């Protein structure tokens, strides 16, 4: 018996069943864990925060802001995009990135102190 185990079986079946009914299934839990994992790297977390603050930024700007090499920034942005936390669009020779609503929401859940920049006029 460990300090974290109950000493006797005291299952509250109605309550436990109500919780189980609302719990995400294994596939949904895996999807959510992948999203959370995408922000588990400090560089990706900083890049996501920069996108939340700056709105839409190109890889060059993000590399300068985060003080990282462009190829490393591109790698991390692909991970954020694959997790559904960022989107990209091509603008001529530039690739512009922005966070998705889910990306902003996850940053807020993590307690990131982000204040989005005012919209461009």
pLDDT in tens, the chain (121 residues): 677 777 777 788 899 899 989 988 888 888 888 888 888 899 999 999 999 999 999 999 999 999 999 999 999 999 999 999 999 999 999 999 999 999 998 888 887 777 666 655 4
Q: 2 in a domain, yes or no?
A: no
Q: 117 in a domain, yes or no?
A: no
Q: Which domain holds residue 39?
A: 13-109
Tokens of 86: 């960022």
Rounded to 5 degrees, φ, ψ at 64 are: -70, -45
Q: 77 in a domain, yes or no?
A: yes
Q: 119 in a domain, yes or no?
A: no
Closest CA to 52 of 42, 62, 60: 62
Instruction: Yes or no: say if 22 and 86 are a contact pair by the CB < 8 Å rule.
Output: no
CATH number at residue 94: 1.10.10.10
pLDDT of residue 34: 87
Q: 115 in a domain, yes or no?
A: no
Q: 74 in a domain, yes or no?
A: yes
How many separate domains does the chain show? 1
- Tokens 């807020």 locate to 108
Q: 7 in a domain, yes or no?
A: no
Q: 116 in a domain, yes or no?
A: no
- Read out DSSP for 74-114? HHHHHHHHHTTSEEEEEETTEEEEEE-HHHHHHHHHTT---
How deeply is 114 buried, as exposed, middle or buried, from its count of CB atoms within 10 A (0-12, 13-18, 19+)?
Answer: middle
Residue 114's contacts (CB-CB under 8 Å, 6 or more residues apart) are 49, 52, 53, 104, 107, 108
């Amino acid at each position: 018996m460990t300090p974290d185990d109950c000493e006797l079986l005291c299952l509250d079946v109605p309550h436990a069943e109500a919780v189980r009914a609302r719990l995400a299934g294994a596939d949904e839990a895996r999807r959510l864990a992948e999203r959370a994992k995408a922000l588990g790297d400090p560089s990706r977390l900083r890049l996501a925060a920069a996108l939340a603050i700056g709105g839409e930024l190109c890889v060059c700007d993000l590399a300068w802001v985060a003080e990282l090499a462009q190829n490393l920034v591109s790698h991390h942005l692909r991970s954020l995009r694959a997790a559904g936390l960022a989107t990209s669009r091509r603008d001529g020779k530039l690739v512009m990135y922005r966070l998705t609503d889910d990306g902003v929401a996850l940053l807020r859940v993590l307690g990131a102190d982000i204040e989005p920049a005012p919209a461009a006029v």
